[in-house]
Structure 1
């Protein structure tokens, strides 16, 4: 058996110590999965805000919101890659995830130019919003799944799956709102009606799974009284929002009434806000 020299032994000890310091904890992974998951929602929220402007719904308010949403997306994307102590984000070190984040950055640069035009008072390019938002969403979702798998491998815990899918619900509230806005603008109407039906169905199923479990979605359900109470608040808001979606997505529906569009613009944010509270509660279970 070869003897290890003292300098080499010290170097090995230092390497172990450094790796322990750099190791991401379960609580940090919970934050990473939450905030990377929130990025998916922000892609759809920006799209919704631009399309509400195109629909002439609270133009100045949505322009101001769009500016804030874009800034948050950009700050979080940089934080995920390089770390952000204020947000509780450690720097990403895995090469596969870094490559994926770089792909997201490239797509974001393209989408951001469309956003900036609207923020600065320009008109909304509806076709570009519709074309560019989904690749950005899908690639951000890929990054979330990579974080989730890494977290499970490193920590041995599967809480990332629940945080991921609970977080995905936030995105679905905004995706439905975006799709309703596109239907109202008569943009690829049949496709967006079909997408809207699928998005609403997934939101409904996932909400039930978060409460009572869904094996296919890998959701165990929850007995936590506080979380169940919060999810019930979400369910009550969903009961208000769902009829708007069903009317907009109806196969025989001819357009969307201005009243329904206004109602959607008012109700989607409380639904998002209360779903976000539930995600934070799941995240705090890992603290």
Structure 2
């Protein structure tokens, strides 16, 4: 494989080459799998943008986090357009389902207000814990609106999945959600540090604790299976290895998140979380792409 071809691009090229050989229903399955990945990634981006702004606001990896914000904003906008109007790297067909279009309209409505918050950050008028906490609340609204679309696409996938495993949509959803949860945890650590003794600090601590529990339970379920979470064993050996490695990495990273719950972290510890969250995201992205390519 030429080194200049990324794994996502190779996957998309293979899908295109096989398109003529696949029955129409299998093509619908494949497109929905990829749409689930893209729609799930939107949930992550909603949290990643606030995490980046919060860290930059604290002076943690300022330039790197501003770049993360810029690329995340572009990806969110372009992906929403692709899901709605079609096209993009995967050459999606335009969305025609009325319920999906309605859910996308809801995302667009929240995005207008959220984008105004990004503009305030870029203008330097987003200052203090209260401003960042309010933008974080908007990001949760954006997350919920995006998640509603994911759940709708998953239901559609289960309805049409024939030759593929109907549980695959569930696995793509949960594996994709891990990307969001690690970003959300990073965001909540930053907001907790920014809040310090502010009245909102206990709320940020509770949010962080809930996020960590959900990430931990989901990581365990993806790795070892879980009837409670409707997660079967990993479908392939490479995904099984990926999930085990994620579980191991999480076991090391969680100690920093636990430390943030009992005291203030120093700048180096905040830097380590910021860098680790982004590295973890790359690894999780690769795994979700494996699921979506099945």
Report the 3-state secondary structure (helix = DSSP H, G, I; strand = E; otherwise coil) of the residue aligned with 2:107.
helix
State whether residues 64 and 119 of structure 1, in contact with CA within 8 Å, keep that contact through their aligned partners in structure 2: no
Contact 2:126 2:132 in 1 (8 A): no
**How far did 1:238 drift?**
1.1
CA offsets per residue over residues 14-72 of structure 1, 9 Å max, x none?
xxxxxx97996111111000000000000000010010011111222211221111000
How much has 1:259 moved relative to structure 2? 2.7
Give the counterpart of 1:169 among 162, 174, 178: 178
Residue matched to 1:115: 118
Is 1:61 the counterpart of 2:70 in the alignment?
Answer: no
1:229 corresponds to which residue? 241
**8 Å contact from structure 1 (residues 36, 140) kept in 2:** yes
Q: Which residue of 1 aligns with 2:151?
A: 145
Aligned to 1:257: 266
Q: Which residue of 1 aligns with 2:13?
A: none
Q: Could you report, residue by residue, the CA deviation over 1:62-98 in whole angstroms, capped at 9, with x for unpaired residues?
A: 1122111100000001111111242343222111111
Question: Which residue is equivalent to 1:277?
Answer: 286
- The corresponding residue for 1:31 is 34
Q: Is 1:267 paired with 2:276?
A: yes
TM-score (norm 2): 0.84
Answer with 1 or 2: which has the greater Rg: 1
Question: Counterparts of 1:100 and 1:179 in 2: how far apart (Å)?
Answer: 27
Unmatched 5+ residue regions in structure 1?
1-19
Instruction: Count matched residues.
Output: 263
Counterpart selection for 2:225 from 213, 218, 222: 213
Aligned with 2:226: secondary structure? Answer: coil
Deviation at 1:222, TM superposition (A): 1.5
Structure 2 unaligned spans of 5+: 1-22
Contact 1:175–1:199 (CA<8 Å) still a contact in 2?
A: yes
User: Counterparts of 1:201 and 1:270 in 2: how far apart (Å)?
Assistant: 20
Distance 2:36 2:270 in 1: 32
Provide the TM-score with structure 1 as the length reference. 0.86
Equivalent residue for 1:43, pick from 36, 41, 46: 46
CA drift of 1:121 comes to: 5.2
Which structure 2 residues correspond to residues 116-135 of structure 1 after superposition, within 5 A?
116-120=119-123, 122-124=125-127, 125-135=131-141
Shift of 1:163: 0.3
Shift of 1:254: 3.4
Alignment of 1:77-92 (within 5 A): 77-92=80-95
